[in-house]
Amino acid sequence: MAARITRPRPSLFTAHPARTVVVAFAAVIALGTVLLSLPVATADGTGPDPVTALFTATSAVCVTGLALVDTGTYWSGFGQGVILTLVQIGGFGIMTMASLLALLVSGKLRLRLQLTAQAETKSLGIGDVRRVLLGVAGTTAVVEIAVGAVLALRFRFGYGDALGHAVYLGFFHSVSAFNNAGFALYADSLTRYGSDPWIILPVAAAVIVGGLGFPVVLETLRYRRRRRATGRRNWSLHTKLTVGTTVVLLVTGTVLTCLLEWRNAGTLGPLGWPDKILSGFFHSAMTRTAGFNSVDIGAMHASTLLLTCMLMFVGGGSAGTAGGMKVSTFAVLAVAIIAEVRGEPNSGVLGRKLAPHVLRQALTVALLGVGLVMSATLALLSMTTLPMETVLFEVVSAFGTVGLSTGITAGLPTAGHLVLVLLMFVGRLGPVTLVSALALRERTRRYELPEERPVIG
């Protein structure tokens, strides 16, 4: 009699990876809410109301930075420590999970075949998982320590803070910056340091590196070493699109912000031209989904707020600490539009043809994001009498997990706070889980339907 072959039972991650990510993050948010609800978490020892604890925990885990209270004065040292831990878990967790999901949906892993073979190890593959985890942990540690040290030295010797306090300030803002969280220990965020490049530039650098995404950072470092040996650089299409689009958006955001706010007395107007350019660049970099600000967002012109909304909606790179629909999605849609305008049958960029399912996924993510933003904006407008541009700005900031605010967050009704909580959670995990779910559900149709073309336009 032939021996019965028993297939190993898939683990939770290999069977339902997207569901696992959602459940894990929801559990961390629940735990964070409980810890922040303790009386010891607040400076006055009374404890926050449940909505404030839930909102803050969600904002921290989803590395958003929106807040109902002042982080530096309302929360105690314990509460700030919980927030920083949640930020680190949220940033590290989403980078790890997104990177593993990227491995899962890539052709290199042969999807379910290799996943089933590795089910007993509870991983995608020992080598792949080890490389991802060590890479994410190493990148996180190096950037956060380096930026934290620079900031600590500046706080200590530039502003006279005590050594311990300077170190705390430096590493708190470094962790917050690299994870694109935007939590600051000052009520005015980093406005008081808006003209100090030793504070502004390290924070911006941490935000940009974290927002590029771990696969891009790892590939850049790997090919840098290979280029030293061979003299050639051979980046993947994803890395080229992410880096190129990020640079274009950073430059465009800087130029347009400076032009629109150059004479605004409430923002860039009183500054000298070097400080104007520095503040314009910092604001553009923060739209990569980090909520720090060096000028008063509420004093910006409506045109600048709309520009910021567009940049925040795009967000940063995939499998990183940034939110939004991602720059690669934006680049793919731009390439598809250019190909259609030119009348080309296929979409191609940088010598590569884009697969049709990639275009469909990008369009799905973008349109669902627009629909979610519009629905949330309509809901908040029905609850308040606030101007549409400020409500839209707040909604896009929450969906893109940015954290920039015109100052209306705390004044929203409780139902509005809960809308933003849901928006931050969906905005953080939605694109990752949606794309992975679409990729895993992809099927090859064995027949073709009759073709017919409806009238477009």
- Does 161 fall in a domain? yes
Q: Do 149 and 157 contact (CB within 8 A), yes or no?
A: no
Say which residues have a Cβ less than 8 Å from residue 434's Cβ, sequence separation at least 6. Answer: 18, 364, 365, 368
Q: What is the pLDDT at residue 17? A: 57
Name which residue leads in pLDDT, 291 or 196.
196
Angle, CA 424 vertex, CA 256 and CA 438 arms, to 5°? 95
What is the residue range of 197's domain?
A: 12-439
Instruction: For residue 295, give both structure tokens.
Output: 């000028």
Domain total in the chain = 1
- Does 393 fall in a domain? yes
Nearest to 440 by CA among 7, 6, 21, 9: 21
Mean pLDDT of 325-353: 83
pLDDT of 102 over the 80 cut: no
Q: Are strands 348-349 and 352-353 parallel, antiparallel or unpaired?
A: antiparallel
pLDDT of 84 over the 80 cut: yes
- Does 370 fall in a domain? yes
Instruction: For residue 87, give both structure tokens.
Output: 């930020």
- Does 206 fall in a domain? yes
Tell me how far apart the alpha carbons of residues 218 and 259 are, in angstroms, rounded to a whole number: 35
Q: What is the pLDDT at residue 457? A: 65
List pLDDT tens digits, range 374-393. Answer: 999 999 999 999 999 999 99
- Does 451 fall in a domain? no
Whole-angstrom CA distances from 83 to 72, 165, 234, 403 are 11, 17, 40, 14
Among positive and negative, which fits the CA dihedral 182, 186, 191, 193? negative
pLDDT of 359 over the 80 cut: yes
Name which residue leads in pLDDT, 320 or 89.
89
Q: What is the pLDDT at residue 205? A: 95
Tell me how far apart the alpha carbons of residues 25 and 96 are, in angstroms, rounded to a whole number: 12
Tell me how far apart the alpha carbons of residues 33 and 414 are, in angstroms, rounded to a whole number: 16
Q: What average pLDDT does the structure give for the chain?
A: 83
Mean pLDDT of 214-233: 66
Nearest to 86 by CA among 119, 68, 61, 115: 61
Q: What is the pTM of this model?
A: 0.85
* Confidence category of residue 1, pLDDT binned at 50, 70, 90: very low
- Crossing angle for the helix pair 414-440 and 388-399, to the nearest 10 degrees: 40
Other CB atoms within a 10 A radius of the CB of residue 168 amount to: 19
Mean pLDDT of 228-234: 57
Say which residues have a Cβ less than 8 Å from residue 401's Cβ, sequence separation at least 6. Answer: 62, 63, 64, 180, 289, 315, 322, 323, 324, 424, 427, 428
- Does 412 fall in a domain? yes
List pLDDT tens digits, range 187-196. Answer: 899 999 999 9
Instruction: For residue 257, give both structure tokens.
Output: 């912000």
Q: What is the pLDDT at residue 110? A: 42
- Does 360 fall in a domain? yes
Q: What is the pLDDT at residue 174? A: 96
- Does 181 fall in a domain? yes
DSSP classification of residue 43: T
List pLDDT tens digits, range 149-164. Answer: 999 999 999 999 999 9
pLDDT of 413 over the 90 cut: yes
